[in-house]
Chain A
Amino acid sequence: MSIFAYAPAPESRAVVDIASSYGLFIDGEFRPAAEDKVFPTHSPATEEQLSEVAHAGAADVDAAVRAARAAFGPWSALPGSERATYLFRIARILQERSRELAVLESLDNGKPIRESRDVDLPLAAAHFFYYAGWADKLAHAGFGPDPRPLGVAGQVIPWNFPLLMLAWKVAPALATGNTVVLKPAETTPLSALFFADVCRQAQLPPGVVNILTGDGSTGAELVAHPGIDKVAFTGSTEVGRSIARTVAGTRKRLTLELGGKAANIVFDDAPIDQAVEGIVNGIFFNQGHVCCAGSRLLVQESVREELLEALKRRMETLRVGDPLDKNTDIGAINSAEQLARIQELAAAGEAEGAERWSPAGCELPGQGYWFAPTLFTGVAQSHRIAREEIFGPVLSVLTFRTPEEAVAKANNTAYGLSAGIWTEKGSRILWMADKLRAGVVWANTFNKFDPSSPFGGYKESGFGREGGRHGLEAYLDV
């Protein structure tokens, strides 16, 4: 234990007022589910019940889609500058209420307040700000002089960045003139419901944004509903596949942002201290609940020992615990189900012969769902932990000898969302970037996001891009 132990520094919960129950947000009003079904949402850090939310069924999906359809005509007919005004208002309100929403997000999701405060909320607001600017500039976006919206978008988002993924879906859809029915993840419904209140403060016309809470069955009803024109999904590759089957044969447009198994490739001339930070950020950011996480470390054999030593030393300083503590680096695993999956894959790693390591003395809280930051060495391409997305704080270390071998191993996956390259040599970065079959390539950095930068995958990581000028295309009839 350090002689300079940090005292607890919890962010105040008083900034957020969570009601004991929430309805569905349809046509500008909160209402109970038609069948009156509800389900609880918990803090994964304490297992405390935070609230009870409505469980939308088929009738609710239908009502929401009708509301969105009714709103579509007037909304899409507004001058772009007026849609922009609403979106700028939303951006500003998100900035104003960012601390409240950050605390809420950390409570419901389990992520550290440092990340919800410094990453999720600023990026969510920036995303609205960016797409607000496009709303009156669509003629300049390269999709023709007067690109038209698609209609009603059914959007299903994951639990890892609840509000940020909402922003990625809602902002471009609204900017281009679509209306939306959005379903947040079952385990993290609250920030979307607070977003409904943000829409009310912004005086967004009723029906433009509708929010349905529920589980996978609600999402399935939504994507299958004949009244929607567009499906946008972020989540697992398995669910993405079934959605692709559902929309097959319909006129619905589809974009999918799915899983990943990114390689983070470290050459012997890398800036080593920053590479270590990038590896840590790549896999332990947001407890590893990141589709583009750098979950496979590919390190050049000549620097393997040096790098692993530095990485382990750095991992020993990671602070795991209360998500609301301002000094926490790694928070809670989002759900018991996810924890079980991580545990199962980690056990498979050991069973298949990889060597497992976690920092000694990493104490996990007794309540809630937790998993210590974990490193596997001696991993082979054939191991499950090198192939399957773990979606947790587990890093698999492999080695390579030449750039060609690094590329071959990096691309040897069904996924293709992201990749990282660490070297001081510029021409090699560009050569590697050229060869890597991944939608985002980070060089000497990792897990960087910006509203102006397109994001999305190759292969089974999905299709379509979110963010940037490219992100408009998914919501335009082009």
Chain B
Amino acid sequence: MPPTAPPAALADVTASDAALRRYLHGLPGVDAVGLDARAAVLGTRSIKTTAKAEAIDLAISMIDLTTLEGADTPGKVRSLCAKGVRPDPGDPGVPHVAAICVYPDMAAIAKDALAGSPVRVASVATAFPAGRAARPVKLADTRDAVAAGADEVDMVIDRGAFLSGRYLQVFEEIAAVREAAGPAHLKVILENGELSTYDNIRRASWLAMLAGADFIKTSTGKVSVNATLPNTLLMLEAVRDFRAATGRQVGVKPAGGIRTTKDAIKYLVLVNETAGADWLSPDWFRLGASSLLNDLLMQRQKLATGRYSGPDYVTVD
């Protein structure tokens, strides 16, 4: 089980709101123009032929196949689970996805549907997506999800508290959820679109990692700005630097707006050239997505047959 307390070397930085603030504000600044430019250059990498085939399978294996709608039903979730276990009915060589990501009340359905498969159940929690609920409710939500069989919990941070500088409150809440989640892996959603600045995203990344996050995740997919190449690049720098500082490796999950194979490969390039090969596995990098999987399958079919595929040749789930 991952540590719930910050690494010893950094223990005193979380001793008080003031200490935490000094620490987070002492992290190197982010020059937005430079960060965007670096992400854009990496976005021009051309991944073709054998490399593309490897990348497609790697991307499929990293997907947290997601349905987070008010209209979700057990039927919808079961169908998504079937898809996640065997994405292409015509080709057993296609890897399974990493996890199925659902609301807590669907976690038990997903657990049941995925029984016997290596695909994990991820559940959002803590009053996702806004996170505007009392702490006991958030903790109950978390315990509920884990009790229903969630292997992974995707929590949201309190962006209001973060933006008003109450960093210790955010830290303590993450730590409390970390504890409530028990054996489940904890992914901490920063909601980059609401944090607004790259400096904030770097600080929130460190705050979440100090509080015990196993993964840091860009966004809920429910606001206008979700995962972008620059904000994911920035979070990859954060996990890289955090491991160098503490020895503990934390994963990254961009989510929301990643729809095409081309997009997904750009994210893999970011991982490869920023955090490095140690992060190139579903254990350390995930792609939160729904429609992405079908595009990956169509591109996979194109590579296999030489013909462009069409939406009628992949399943709608």
Contact = CB atoms under 8 A, between A and B. Distances in A.
Interface string A251-289: 000000000000000000111111001100000000000
Contact of A5 (B28, B31, B45, B51): B51
Interface string B45-59: 111111110110010
B277 interface: yes
B45 A327 contact: yes
Contacts of A277: 34, 37-38
Given A4-B51, A118-B44, A278-B34, A273 B277 contact: no
A7 B38 contact: no
B257 to A, nearest CB: 22
A6 B277 contact: no
Contact of A4 (B29, B38, B272): B272
A429 to B, nearest CB: 12
Contact of A3 (B28, B38, B52, B280): B280
Contacts of B29: 269-271, 424
Contacts of B1: none
B48 A7 contact: yes
A4 B285 CA distance: 14
B44 A9 contact: no
15 contacts: A2-B277, A4-B272, A4-B280, A6-B46, A6-B51, A7-B49, A7-B51, A114-B41, A118-B44, A272-B28, A273-B28, A274-B34, A274-B38, A326-B44, A445-B34
Contacts of B28: 269-273
Nearest to B27: A272
B272 A327 contact: no
A444 interface: yes
A272 B199 CA distance: 12
Contacts of A272: 28
Contacts of A317: 273
Contacts of A274: 30-31, 34-35, 38
A327 B237 contact: no
A55 to B, nearest CB: 38
Contacts of B44: 114, 118, 326
B42 to A, nearest CB: 10
A9 B46 contact: yes
B220 to A, nearest CB: 26
For the complex of A and B, list the 3 residue pairs with the smallest distance between their C-beta atoms, beginning with the closest.
A274-B34, A9-B46, A326-B46
Task: Specify which of A2, A274, A327 lies most central, judged by the most chain B CB atoms within 10 Å of its CB.
Answer: A274
B268 interface: yes
B48 A9 contact: yes
B71 interface: no
Contacts of B272: 2, 4
B31 A6 contact: no
A436 B154 CA distance: 51
A3 B277 CA distance: 7
Nearest to B38: A277
A404 B51 CA distance: 50
Interface of B: 28-31, 33-35, 37-38, 41, 44-52, 54-55, 58, 237, 268, 272-273, 277, 280
A271 B277 contact: no
The B interface, classified by DSSP as helix, strand, loop or mixed, is helix
Nearest to A325: B46
Interface of A: 2-9, 114, 118, 269-274, 277-278, 317, 326-327, 424, 444-445
Given A4-B277, A7-B51, A273 B237 contact: yes
Contacts of A4: 51, 54-55, 58, 268, 272, 277, 280
A2 B46 CA distance: 16
B61 to A, nearest CB: 12
Contacts of B37: 277
Contacts of B237: 273
Nearest to B50: A7
A269 B52 CA distance: 40
Given A6-B47, A278-B34, A445-B34, 9 more contacts: A2-B277, A5-B51, A6-B51, A269-B28, A269-B29, A271-B28, A273-B30, A273-B34, A444-B33
A7 B50 CA distance: 6
Task: Specify which of A7, A269, A277 lies most central, judged by the most chain B CB atoms within 10 Å of its CB.
Answer: A7
Contacts of B58: 4
Contacts of B33: 444-445
Contacts of B30: 271, 273-274
Contacts of A270: 28-29
A326 B30 CA distance: 28
A6 B268 CA distance: 11
A272 B38 CA distance: 13
Nearest to A1: B277
A427 to B, nearest CB: 15
Nearest to A273: B237
A395 to B, nearest CB: 18
Contacts of B31: 271, 274, 444-445
B280 A6 contact: no
B282 to A, nearest CB: 13
B273 A7 contact: no
A272 B28 CA distance: 6
A39 to B, nearest CB: 35
Nearest to A326: B46
Given A4-B268, A9-B47, A273 B280 contact: no
Contact of B52 (A7, A114, A326): A7
Task: Specify which of A9, A269, A273, A326 lies most central, judged by the most chain B CB atoms within 10 Å of its CB.
Answer: A273
Contacts of B51: 4-7
Contacts of A445: 31, 33-34
Nearest to A7: B51
A314 to B, nearest CB: 9
A2 B48 CA distance: 16
A425 to B, nearest CB: 10
A271 B34 contact: yes
B84 to A, nearest CB: 23
Contacts of A7: 47-52
